[in-house]
Amino acid sequence: MTETLKQGSATAASRIYETLRQDLLNGRYRAGERLSITLLRETYEVGLSPLREALNRLAAYGLLRQENQRGFRVLELTREELADITEMRRQLEGMALELAIRHGDEEWESQLLAANHRLARAGEHTPVVEWEGLHSRFHSALVEPCGSAWLLRFISQLHDQFDRYRRVAPRAQELRHQLDSQHQELVDLALARNARQARALIEEHITLSSEVAKCSCR
């Protein structure tokens, strides 16, 4: 009776999908590496069918490349693709932020302040994985009320792509601090409903993050 506390009850395929996604974002597997299905089976102690279903989803999502009869590979990390992802993030998140500032209500303002506070409180001794979660949620909260489900979907997808680069890059303290202070400025501009400047700042923020991430390319 206490078994299905988890809402909905996730399938094995969904669980392994989420685990694999996180592991891919965290750079557990080398760029370009071929993922051996047999090996993955043993590593995650999961059956063949749910594993293959998860891999198929990840490939459709763009975190893996599927070659017929030759299994699945981790995507490469290239300067060209990082530039593409960065520019797309600039455009789409800039657009979304402007819309969010136009449509966001008081509830949004509260959520945004809360997300920023939690992120700012997380200091040196916070586990990286936890910080990453707070960071993701902050950026989600920022654009959340833009009014377009597809825009949010694309932004999340690009965030995942971007994180593959960012998370394996060495942590540059100097830039790290600058990026952190930009989070605060973004909140201020958002609450002031200054769409123009907010858009300019988030574009700068993304470009700066991209500089940090660049060294992870081959």
Partner DNA sequence: TTTCTGGAAATAATCGATTATTTGACTCAG
Partner DNA sequence: CTGAGTCAAATAATCGATTATTTCCAGAAA
Interacting residues toward a second copy by CB under 8 A: 8-11, 13-14, 49, 52-54, 56-62, 68-69, 81, 84-85, 87-88, 91, 95, 148-151, 153-154, 158, 161
End-to-end CA distance of the chain: 51
Tokens of 196: 């123009």
Work out which of 28, 30, 32, 37 binds DNA, going by CB under 7 A.
37
The residues in 44-63 that bind DNA, with binding defined as CB under 7 A, are 46-50, 52-53
38 lies in the site for DNA, by CB under 7 A: yes
d(C-alpha 37, C-alpha 71), whole Å: 8
Q: Which stretch binds DNA (CB under 7 A): 29-37, 74-82, 104-112, 209-217?
A: 29-37
Among 6, 70, 121, 218, binds DNA (CB under 7 A): 70
DSSP state of 199: H
For position 66 contacting DNA by CB under 7 A, the verdict is yes
Task: List the single partner that 34 binds among DNA, a second copy, none, CB under 5 to 8 Å by kind.
Answer: DNA
Three-class SS string for 81-140? HHHHHHHHHHHHHHHHHHHHHHHCCHHHHHHHHHHHHHHHHCCCCCCHHHHHHHHHHHHH
